[in-house]
Structure 1
Amino acid sequence: MGIIGEKLDVDFVISTGDNFYDRGLKGTGDSAFEESFSKIYNAPSLQKEWYSEIVEFFFVDTTPFVDKYFIDPEDEVYDWKGILPRRNYLSTLLKELDSSIKDSNAKWKIVVGHHTLKSAGTHGDTQELLHHLLPILEENKVDFYLNGHDHCLQHISSINSPLQYFTSGGGSKAWRGDINWMDPKELKFYYDGQGFMSLQITHSQANFTFFDIFGNILHQWASTKPLLHSAI
């Protein structure tokens, strides 16, 4: 990833979650941050954080949408103090997201969440997000939804809207050997292994590239938008 980052001269890096297994960080001094993050992504090419007005990223806290974390915690103990009452929290989150996207003047609008919206991987579609989040993305003509959660690489194209779905969850726990087959008109690419994704974006074009851990290109896809011209 560091080698490809140097070749592409990346401007920033986005994490789609699941960086700290199994129970997250215990605090700001947790050694897991150093072991699982700082020492992993230490390539000079990844030490950047630039922003551009042609694109705006909207990060969504997707975990509180998922019902099973509340009714079937799988022997895990979650601290929900920060989001209760849950209904109010989700309502506020959705209103703020909708308002922020509507107020944006960016040419490209990209929403990032941890959980899948659509996926052919182990976890599959997240029904709660399809019900609550997807209508906002489609109404506001969001270009791309980026997520992790499923430990694979995949590109799904929506049949009913221009929205594209990209999963970059191949950092660990990949090679699970399972796939939920989808309509080939939707599932453009699926890789059950480790790797990562890059995005190069200009005013008129967005280029997505998926790589395996050796830097080999697995899948490429591009989207274009017309340049706007004005006359005085």
Structure 2
Amino acid sequence: MDDKLFKNLRNLLVFLVSISSFQAASSQNVSSLKFLALGDWGGLPDFPYRTPIELGVASQMGKVAGNLKTQFQVALGDNFYFDGVKDISDKRFQETFENTFTAGSLQNSWYFVAGNHDHNGNVSAQIAYTQHSKRWMFPNLYYSFNYTIPGTKSLVSFIMIDTVTLCGNTDHDFSGEPPKGPEDVAAAEKQWAWIESQLINSYKADYVIVGGHFPVYSVAEHGPTEQLLQRLQPMLHKYKVTAYISGHDHNLQHLQYTSAGSLVEYFVIGSANFVDPSLAHKTAVPENSLKFHWADILSLGGFAYIEATPSNMTLTFIEANAKGLYQHTMLPRKL
């Protein structure tokens, strides 16, 4: 048997075993909320308007969503590299999104936030596109939504924030330069007040997920985001948030940190268009907080599958070749 045939058979076996394990786990939880999350997925500004990694992630997401019957997707910014979109008629909406994530299983709702590259362009056009696409859900720069776990009274609350308004933009994403503070302090303070009000009013939720583009903690190129460490991190722990999910660094990470007696999970899900193996900031996060890091530059990227039941919520990192990379289970909040 030649090496190429052997490799193809091996990959097929990995795919079948991985999907079977996801299906078996999911079949035990009929009453569950299932969704996918990805970040930094935004293709290229010129033909072919997408990268092989974005295509690989889109293909595998379609398969996972079809097999597991997921209900929606969460997209964590940098929706269009390198400078967002120009207006509502920009062809990037079609070329990089609509014509890329084509699987029937991905035609349900997508919830978006903006990244630094989106703010380089016309973010208002991305918000306006909500009125032009049945699945593009981006009603405002920051917003919230809730899902009840099917067949139960258990509630999952999502708080989607605009980290560029809060922190300022970066000079250049690939330079590793951190944001230097909000350009509009009044707009940032208005959003900070909104975030806290949302967290205060989330007391009925069994799980609370906050999603933004910049990470709170990261061991990779960009590292922790100072403004979020100062203002957001204390809120996440005070109000016992389940998890903060983000992108910006082009890899997959899981970090844990306990403060004020509250454990919060931090996930970076930023490898849907590029993969960067940087560990430049591995000493800049709390000791022993890093639980998982993945950045295989020979891969076609990755994303996350999340399933919530009344008893637990499980996040699984999945490589674009269908390989399950890592899994972590979280319990409902106890307020």
Q: Structure 1 length normalisation: TM-score?
A: 0.86
Tell me what 2:196 maps to. Answer: 98
Cα-to-partner distance string for 1:18-75 (whole Å, 9 max, x where unaligned): 12011001111100111111111111111123962310100111012334x3xx745x
- Which contiguous aligned blocks of 4+ residues in structure 1 show a shift greater than 3 angstroms? none
TM-aligned CA deviation for residue 209 of structure 1: 0.2
Amino acid at match of 2:194: E
One-letter code aligned to 2:324:
I
Structure possessing the higher relative contact order (Cα contacts under 8 Å, 6 or more residues apart): 2
Name the aligned partner's letter for residue 147 of structure 2.
Answer: S
The 5-angstrom pairing of residues 117-196 of structure 1 reads 117-160=216-259, 161-174=262-275, 176-179=276-279, 180-182=281-283, 185-193=288-296, 194-196=301-303
1:168 partner letter: I
> 1:177 Cα deviation (Å)?
3.0
Structure 1 residue 10: deviation in Å? 0.6
Contact 2:237/2:258, CA 8 A, preserved across alignment: no
Would the aligned equivalents of 1:151 and 1:169 in 2 still touch at CA under 8 Å? Answer: yes
Alignment of 1:59 onto 2:163: no
AA aligned to 2:109 is: E
- Report if the CA contact (8 A) 2:242-2:330 is conserved: no
Letter in 2 for 1:158: Y
Structure holding more helix per residue: 2
For residue 35 of structure 1, what is the aligned residue in structure 2? 95
- Deviation string for 1:52-107 (max 9, x for gaps)? 2310100111012334x3xx745xxxxxxxxx972211111111111112112211
Separation in 2, partners of 1:117, 1:226: 20
Q: Is the 8 A contact 2:242 2:264 kept in 1?
A: yes
**2:208 partner SS:** strand
User: Following the alignment from structure 2 to structure 1, what is the Cα–Cα distance between the partners of residues 228 and 108?
Assistant: 31
Q: 1:129: how far off?
A: 0.8
Aligned to 1:230: none
Give the superposed CA RMSD.
2.2
Secondary structure of residue in 2 paired with 1:52: strand
Matching residue within 58, 71, 76 for 1:16: 76
Letter in 1 for 2:158: F
For 2:186, the equivalent position in structure 1 comes to 88
Residues 306 and 315, structure 2, Cα contact 8 Å, conserved in 1: yes
**If the length of structure 2 is used for normalisation, what is the TM-score?**
0.60
Say if 1:162 and 1:44 are closer, same or farther in 2 by CA, change over 3 A: same
